[in-house]
C-alpha cells in the first residue's frame, strides 16, 4: 500500500548526461539504504524522475532544451553568451518571468502528478528534489501556491524541496534559491556561490557530487555494513588494476584513457591521434609498453574512424576503442592517466579512482570552474591543444613519482561516500514528512492537489 512507501519527485532535464545520472544515483542509494540499513530506513522510497522541460514544456524553447543544449555545447560561443546573459540581473529576471508566464500551469501538472502513475493527478510526491539549475524558482512558487491553497505565492509551502547541485567548480546563479529547505553542494566554491545568492549557511550541506554506484566506496557490490564491507574489500582487492584490466580484455600495462563527453563531444579523434603517436614514439624509444583506451561515448563516427581498418595503430602500442560504455568505473580503475572534457561527473569519478586528469576543453560558464578545481587539488591540468596534451602525457609518464603524487591528491579530493550521505539526509527528511502526512497535517490530499491557482 502507498502508506508503506515514501515518494520523492526528482526534477531534472537531459541537458548533458549528468543530471539524469545523478537522479538515478540517488534512486539507487535509497534502495541500497533500505536494504542495508533497514533499522534506520524501514520505509522504501519510490523516486519519480522527470525531465520537466521535455515532458511539460508547452512550446519552444522550453520543450527543446535538450536539443538546444547539444547545439550550444558544440558552438560554445553561443553557450557563453547564453550563460553569461542568463547570469545578469536582467537575464535572470527575464528567464524567471517568461518561465512563469509560459510554464506555470504545465509545471503544476508535473508537480501534482501521481508518482506511481504519471497520467493521474490524484496524489503527489511527499517531497521534491531538483538536480537541475532551471528547476528551482518556478517549482518552489508552484508548491507554495498549492500548499497554501492559493493564499500566498511565497509562503506556506509544506512539501519539502531540496536542491542537489550537480556542478562542481562553478554553477549558474539559478541553482540557488533561498527558499529551499536544503541545498547540497559538492565544493567550497559552490558553498560560497550559494551564500552569495542568499542561501544561509544552515541550509547548505556539503558532501560531494551524487554519482553512480560503481564509484561508491565499495563499488557495485555493497551488501553489508561499512565495517564488514571494508574488510571484504581489502581481502578481495576489488580495485586490483591487473584483475580489472583482464576482465575488460585489456593488456596489463600503463594505460592512457581518453573519454568524450556523454555525447562524445570534444575533438576526440584529434586527441587520440596525437596521444597515440606520442605513445608510439615513446614505446619505440624506450622499453616500456603503453596502452591507449578511447571511449567515444555516443560519437559513432569517432569510433569508426579510430578503429581498424580506418586507423592502423601499428604494433608498438595497444589501442582499444569503445563506443558508449556502462562500466566507466572499471575503465577508470584500469587506467593511469585520463584525458577528458571538464565535465563535473567525470572529474569527480576520476578523483575517486585516483586518476590524474588532463582536461581537454570546458563549456564556458559552469565547467570553467572545474579547471581550477582540478589544478588546485593537484590532480591535473588543462591543455587546450592536442600537442599540449600529448606533451603532458609524455612528461607525466617520465615521472612516476609525480604521477603517484597526483594520484594521492586525487584520492584526497575524492568523495566516494557523498551519494549515500546525501541520500541518508533526504531519506530522513521524507520520513518526517511522511509522518506529518499520516497525522493529517498534509496538503497532498486529492482536494488540495486539484485546486488550481491562477
Binding region for ligand UDP (CB under 6 A): 16-18, 21, 259, 261-262, 295, 297, 324-325, 328, 343-346, 349
Q: How far is the CB of 20 from ligand UDP (least distance, A)?
A: 9
Label the pairing between strands 161-164 and 44-51.
Answer: unpaired
**Residue nearer to ligand UDP on the CB measure, 129 or 295:** 295
Phi-psi region of 208 (alpha: psi -120 to 50; beta: other; left: phi over 0): left
Scored b (16 or more CB within 10 A) or e, 184-217 reads bbbbebbbebbbebebeeebbebbbbbbbbbbbb
Phi-psi region of 167 (alpha: psi -120 to 50; beta: other; left: phi over 0): beta
- Quote the DSSP letter at residue 334: T
Give SS3 for 12: strand
**Residue nearer to ligand UDP on the CB measure, 255 or 449:** 255
**Residue nearer to ligand UDP on the CB measure, 25 or 125:** 25
Cα(48)–Cα(26) distance, rounded to whole angstroms? Answer: 11
Q: Grid coordinates representing 333?
A: 580503475
Q: How far is the CB of 373 from ligand UDP (least distance, A)?
A: 13
Q: How far is the CB of 394 from ligand UDP (least distance, A)?
A: 25
Cα(440)–Cα(380) distance, rounded to whole angstroms? Answer: 54
Q: How far is the CB of 212 from ligand UDP (least distance, A)?
A: 6
**Residue nearer to ligand UDP on the CB measure, 52 or 321:** 321
Label the pairing between strands 318-322 and 161-164.
Answer: unpaired
**Residue nearer to ligand UDP on the CB measure, 173 or 266:** 266
**Residue nearer to ligand UDP on the CB measure, 153 or 239:** 239
Contact 318, 280 (CB under 8 A): no
**Residue nearer to ligand UDP on the CB measure, 328 or 339:** 328
H or E element at residue 190: helix 188-196
List the 380-382 sheet strands across, edge first.
318-322, 290-295, 254-259, 337-340, 357-359, 380-382
E runs forming strands in 44-96: 44-51
Q: How far is the CB of 276 from ligand UDP (least distance, A)?
A: 19
**Residue nearer to ligand UDP on the CB measure, 41 or 379:** 379
**Residue nearer to ligand UDP on the CB measure, 344 or 416:** 344
Q: How far is the CB of 186 from ligand UDP (least distance, A)?
A: 11
**Residue nearer to ligand UDP on the CB measure, 325 or 381:** 325
How many residues appear in the chain?
Answer: 454
**Residue nearer to ligand UDP on the CB measure, 291 or 299:** 299
Residues with Cβ < 8 Å from 96, sequence gap 6 or more?
A: 137, 138
Q: Grid coordinates representing 207?
A: 558532501
Q: How far is the CB of 307 from ligand UDP (least distance, A)?
A: 15
Which residue sits closest to ligand UDP, CB atoms considered? 343
Contact 299, 264 (CB under 8 A): yes
Cα(356)–Cα(346) distance, rounded to whole angstroms? Answer: 12
CA-nearest of 404, 395, 365, 420 to 77 is 365
Scored b (16 or more CB within 10 A) or e, 298-315 reads ebeebbebbbeeebebee
Amino acid at each position: 500500500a502507498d502508506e508503506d512507501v515514501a515518494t520523492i519527485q526528482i526534477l531534472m532535464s537531459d541537458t548533458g548526461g549528468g543530471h539524469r545520472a545523478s537522479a538515478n544515483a540517488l534512486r539507487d542509494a535509497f534502495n541500497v539504504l533500505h536494504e542495508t540499513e533497514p533499522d534506520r530506513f524501514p520505509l522504501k522510497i519510490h523516486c519519480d524522475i522527470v525531465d520537466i522541460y521535455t515532458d511539460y514544456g508547452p512550446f519552444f524553447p522550453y520543450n527543446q532544451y535538450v536539443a538546444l543544449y547539444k547545439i550550444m555545447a558544440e558552438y560554445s560561443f553561443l553557450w557563453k553568451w547564453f550563460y553569461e546573459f542568463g547570469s545578469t540581473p536582467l537575464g535572470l529576471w527575464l528567464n524567471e518571468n517568461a518561465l512563469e508566464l509560459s510554464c506555470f500551469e504545465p509545471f503544476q501538472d508535473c508537480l501534482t502528478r501521481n508518482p506511481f502513475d504519471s497520467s493521474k493527478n490524484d496524489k503527489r510526491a511527499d517531497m521534491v528534489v531538483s538536480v537541475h539549475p532551471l528547476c528551482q524558482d518556478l517549482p518552489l512558487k508552484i508548491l507554495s501556491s498549492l500548499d497554501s491553497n492559493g493564499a500566498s505565492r511565497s509562503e506556506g509551502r509544506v512539501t519539502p524541496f531540496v536542491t542537489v547541485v550537480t556542478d562542481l567548480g562553478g554553477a549558474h546563479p539559478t541553482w540557488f534559491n533561498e527558499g529551499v529547505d536544503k541545498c547540497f553542494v559538492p565544493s567550497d566554491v559552490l558553498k560560497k556561490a550559494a551564500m552569495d545568492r542568499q542561501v544561509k549557511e544552515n541550509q547548505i550541506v556539503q558532501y560531494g557530487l551524487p554519482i553512480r554506484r560503481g564509484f561508491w566506496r565499495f563499488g557495485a557490490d555493497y551488501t553489508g555494513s561499512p565495517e564488514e564491507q571494508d574488510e571484504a574489500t581489502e581481502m578481495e582487492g576489488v580495485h586490483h588494476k591487473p584483475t580489472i584490466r583482464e576482465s575488460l580484455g585489456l593488456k596489463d600495462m600503463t594505460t592512457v584513457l581518453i573519454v568524450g563527453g556523454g555525447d562524445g563531444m570534444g575533438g576526440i579523434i584529434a586527441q587520440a591521434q596525437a596521444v597515440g603517436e606520442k605513445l608510439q614514439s615513446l614505446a619505440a624509444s624506450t622499453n616500456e609498453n603503453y596502452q591507449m583506451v578511447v571511449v567515444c561515448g555516443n560519437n559513432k563516427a569517432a569510433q569508426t574512424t579510430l578503429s581498424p581498418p580506418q586507423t592502423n595503430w601499428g604494433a608498438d602500442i595497444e589501442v582499444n576503442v569503445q563506443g558508449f560504455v556502462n562500466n566507466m568505473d572499471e575503465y577508470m580503475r584500469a587506467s593511469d592517466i585520463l584525458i577528458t572534457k571538464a565535465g563535473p561527473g567525470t572529474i569527480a569519478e576520476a578523483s575517486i579512482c585516483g586518476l590524474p586528469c588532463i582536461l581537454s576543453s570546458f563549456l564556458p560558464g559552469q565547467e570553467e570552474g572545474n579547471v581550477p578545481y582540478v589544478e588546485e587539488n593537484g590532480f591535473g591540468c588543462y591543455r587546450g591543444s592536442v600537442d599540449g596534451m600529448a606533451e603532458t602525457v609524455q612528461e607525466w609518464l617520465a615521472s612516476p613519482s609525480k604521477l603517484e603524487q597526483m594520484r594521492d591528491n586525487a584520492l584526497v579530493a575524492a568523495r566516494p561516500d557523498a551519494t549515500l550521505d546525501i541520500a541518508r539526509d533526504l531519506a530522513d527528511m521524507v520520513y518526517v514528512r511522511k509522518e506529518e502526512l499520516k497525522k493529517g497535517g498534509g496538503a497532498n490530499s486529492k482536494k488540495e492537489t486539484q485546486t488550481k491557482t491562477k
